[in-house]
Amino acid sequence: MLQILPLPGDGPPREAARPGRRPLYGVAVSRAIEQRAAATLPPHTLMQRAGMAVARLARAWQPHARRVGVIAGAGNNGGDGWYAAALLHRHLADVPGAAVCVWAPGGVQRLPADARWAYEAAVAAGVRTVDTPPDDAELLVDAVFGLGLARPVEGVWRDTLRWLHAQATPTLCVDLPSGLDADTGRWWVDAPVAPRGDRLTLSLLTLKPGLFTGMGRAAAGEAIWFDDLGVPADDAPTAWLQTTAAWPDGAALRRAHASHKGSRGDVLVIGGQSPGAGAGVGMGGAALLAGRAALRAGAGRVYVGLLAEARDLPPCDPVQPALMLRTAAAALGSELPQRAVVVAGCGGGDAIHAHLTDLLARCPRLVLDADALNALGPIAAPSASCPDVWRERHTRGWWTVLTPHPLEAARLLGTDVAQVQADRPGAARTLAKRLNATVVLKGSGSVTAAPGVTPIINGGGDGALATAGTGDVLAGLIGARLAALDATSPADTAAAVADAVAAHGDLVRHWTSPWPPTATDLIA
Ligand SMILES: NC(=O)C1=CN([C@@H]2O[C@H](COP(=O)(O)OP(=O)(O)OC[C@H]3O[C@@H](n4cnc5c(N)ncnc54)[C@H](O)[C@@H]3O)[C@@H](O)[C@H]2O)[C@@H](O)CC1
């Protein structure tokens, strides 16, 4: 669960440019904000505030913990830990059996100025330093690495993090879980990512993109808390965090008394290769899931063009009989591609390849998913020259949305999954720029990117979505959201796509059964 809340005593959250969004700041902007604030404040103020925030959350979260072990790194993240240790030591002074200790595996000889000041404050307060891991702690504070980590961790620090991240003891991570890259969500150390025990992360000064994508959510624990250290920032964000799903808005649809199905927008799904068309491989379910999701989310009319012969079409979809079924050939031969948002590729198999040029040439509003992305591969490869059909889309002001998972993104970028996952915001941005399209890179912390638009990272969803068919549901939701959209600037399109991604994440929020949901359950 995400708890992106200001701690008690902080000011109100800053205004976001659009409802349901919060700014995320990468390392460079966070450091600029820190330096600007530090220049106007008495020395060490920010570290003092950081240490106070850590101590305050530690006491609120684990009020009965008497033995606290702080693991301090050799930079200012460690400094936050030292100052928190000083405060916790004071808080616990009268508690029988209480003890606060700091383990600093890198020593304290080369601490930067702020951290040295915090270390001296801790020593002056009577905090004990130890040379071995604090095995008997009831609460651990992870103050090893924060913003300063951007390369692999080895040697003594790797051993330290292997020990720390293997503990079942409740652990409070200062600023970032140590091992996590603040910009990208990459995990830099060969140590467990997922906590064995309870874990919270307290992000300081700014919320960082890496906390919400890649390994960020898995590493951060049950909740991410935020304290801006009293420093308001209105800098241009590195990315936005989408925190809530404001769409679909069923109440608004009901208030629109004078509306009709034609005014809510049309969606055409092209996909669902039949066993006959695909050498015995049938994937009709994927196209039906996309169509059902679009219908469920409020699209006025949803057509499903199946990659099948007319004689193989089912008479209707028994789950959502309101879906209008036809063959892909019939759908693409009609006026529908011009009128509807076309969602192509769900269960498309090899059969979708034959339609790709037609789709690109005839669909002004096009969402390419799954097998349509694989068919696109050669067009998108770095070495490929842009074909006329793709260039003409741009000339005409038509737009394209791509929804790759990391493997599909890797194919499109001519790289591998590890490279994509090492910098998900960067991969999504590169792909969006290269193809002049809106891109949703799926996975933990889905990233929506478009040329000239600040990327949007989805803060919702969880591992329950990692199951067959949920991608088809997402494609259908994006189709429905875009079908209802009037404006078509890149920013509006990206925002609408991010709305659909947020709605998709929200599908699992209220799931209470111990059984994980199937994609069909999510839109039942
Ligand atoms: N200066 C200040 O007053 C403030 C600092 N803050 C804290 O300071 C942190 C940033 O401090 P720093 O810039 O010192 O960075 P860190 O403390 O995150 O890391 C820097 C230290 O880690 C070492 N290091 C980095 N990568 C390594 C690797 N792969 N293997 C081994 N050692 C590695 C560096 O040599 C350096 O000693 C923030 O995350 C935050 O916790 C905040 O509290 C805001 C105020």
pLDDT score recorded for residue 12: 39
pLDDT score recorded for residue 264: 92
Residue with tokens 């920032």: 233
pLDDT score recorded for residue 486: 78
Residue with tokens 């590195």: 238
CB atoms within 10 A of CB 120: 14
Continuous H helices in 11-154? 27-40, 45-61, 76-91, 113-125
pLDDT score recorded for residue 379: 73
Q: Does the annotation list 513 as a binding residue?
A: no
Nearest residue to 414 via CA among 382, 373, 374, 372: 382
CB atoms within 10 A of CB 43: 11
- Ligand 1 site, CB within 6 A: 34, 46-47, 50, 73-78, 80, 112, 114, 145-149, 151-153, 157, 174-175, 204-205
Cα–ligand 1 centroid distance for 406 (angstroms)? 30
Question: Which of 147, 159, 176, 181 for mutating ligand 1's site (highest number of atoms within 8 Å of CB)?
Answer: 147
List per-block mean pLDDT (blocks of 10 residues) for the chain, which spans 524 residues. 50 56 97 98 98 98 98 98 98 96 97 98 97 97 98 98 98 98 98 97 98 98 97 95 92 93 95 85 95 97 97 95 98 97 97 94 96 85 73 91 97 95 98 94 98 96 95 98 86 95 95 95 95
Report the C-alpha gap between 462 and 522 in whole angstroms: 13
Q: Does the annotation list 347 as a binding residue?
A: yes
Residue located nearest, by CA, to atom 26 of ligand 1:
149
- Sorted by sequence, the CB contacts under 8 Å of residue 92 that are 6+ apart come out as 66, 68, 98, 99, 100
For the chain, which domains are there?
21-30+39-234 (3.40.50.10260), 261-522 (3.40.1190.20)
Are the beta carbons of 170 and 197 closer than 8 angstroms?
Answer: yes
> Which amino acid type is present at position 274?
S
Report the C-alpha gap between 85 and 54 in whole angstroms: 9
Report the C-alpha gap between 405 and 402 in whole angstroms: 10
ipTM above 0.90, yes or no: yes
Report the C-alpha gap between 66 and 92 in whole angstroms: 7
Secondary structure class of 360 (helix, strand, coil): helix
Give the tokens for residue 32.
């600029």
CB atoms within 10 A of CB 179: 28
pLDDT score recorded for residue 75: 98
